[in-house]
Structure 1
Amino acid sequence: MSHANKDKSQTATPVMHDPKSVAETVDWGLIPTMIEGESRTSGKLLYKGPGGSPESGIWICTPGYWDCHVTADELCHFLEGRCTYTHESGEVIEIEPDTAAFFPAGWKGTCRVHETVKKVYMIR
């Protein structure tokens, strides 16, 4: 079978132009592990594979302080906002716009969102 005969929906590459300007998002609810405040999340999926992995898109989170347990490898490129991740070992990771971070599966600590963050992410 030639590529010309394939269904385009099966071969289309997911693309999101200017992710910083994405305004139409879906409410993904409150962070369930809050320590202080009430962080609300929203976002827009770019791609979700069979069985839910990999997953990529835009994630937005409002200010608050919460326990964070990463259950699958996650690469993040923060576009806006400021937050501080503190690993259970005491390592402090300061996030500001245009910061990229990789959180391996099993990472545990806390996250304090100082100013609403927007990030592009990929989870696998």
Structure 2
Amino acid sequence: MFPLSVTTGRLPTGEMPEMPVEPHEILEGEPNARGLIVGRSADKTAAAGFWSCNPGRYEFLFDYDEFLYLLEGEVTVTESGPRGRSMTLKDGDTACFPMGIKTTWHIHRKLTKYFVARSLSPMEL
């Protein structure tokens, strides 16, 4: 059994470390992404943190479940495949992305999100 302890975090006031969008995923613009992990489970299958990115458009395949709260910004996320559903998220919105979903992110206004990610195997975020 793992020892129990509480981890706390706060939205960084300075620039976060780079957490880049992979070059082969970028469709338009130069999305400069930064992020900070503020907590993770002992087995590394769950993590929480902050992530920000400037405007651009890119594809992303979720290899983990992600729950997010959009602190600021505006993004239209489109599901790939036959459903092709689009949703626009703005300040204060939440969303859940299931593991395995392929999406296209079109960031209209620099966004900052708080996220919780969960995977079946250890993650290196």
Taking structure 1 as the reference length, what is the TM-score of the superposition? 0.82
**Rounded Cα–Cα distance in structure 2 between residues aligned with 1:105 and 1:61:** 21
| Residue identity in the other structure for 1:14 | T
SS at match of 1:75: strand
**In the alignment, is the contact (CA less than 8 A) between 1:58 and 1:121 conserved in 2?**
yes
Q: Which runs of 5+ in 1 are unaligned?
A: 1-9
Report the number of matched residues: 112
**In the alignment, is the contact (CA less than 8 A) between 2:9 and 2:39 conserved in 1?**
no
Query: Cα RMSD between the aligned structures?
Result: 1.5
From 90, 100, 110, the equivalent of 1:106 is 100
More helix by share: 1
SS at match of 1:98: coil
**Rounded Cα–Cα distance in structure 1 between residues aligned with 2:116 and 2:103:** 20
Give the structure 2 partner of residue 26 of structure 1: 17
1:36 aligns with 2:41: no
Deviations 1:62-91 (A, max 9, x none): 110011211110000000000000111221
1:66 aligns with 2:58: yes
SS at match of 1:16: coil
1:13 aligns with 2:6: yes
Give the structure 1 partner of residue 38 of structure 2: 46
**Rounded Cα–Cα distance in structure 1 between residues aligned with 2:100 and 2:56:** 22
Deviations 1:40-70 (A, max 9, x none): 1111211123453211110111110011211
After the TM superposition, list the runs of 4 or more consecutive aligned residues in structure 1 that deviate by more than 6 angstroms. Answer: none
**Rounded Cα–Cα distance in structure 1 between residues aligned with 2:58 and 2:22:** 7
More deviation in 36-45 or 48-57? 48-57
**Rounded Cα–Cα distance in structure 2 between residues aligned with 1:65 and 1:48:** 28
- Tell me the CA shift for residue 29 of structure 1: 2.6
**In the alignment, is the contact (CA less than 8 A) between 1:31 and 1:40 conserved in 2?**
no
- Tell me the CA shift for residue 12 of structure 1: 3.0
**Rounded Cα–Cα distance in structure 2 between residues aligned with 1:11 and 1:51:** 13
SS at match of 1:12: coil
Q: Percent identity?
A: 24
Taking structure 2 as the reference length, what is the TM-score of the superposition? 0.81
Larger Rg: 1
**In the alignment, is the contact (CA less than 8 A) between 1:30 and 1:38 conserved in 2?**
no
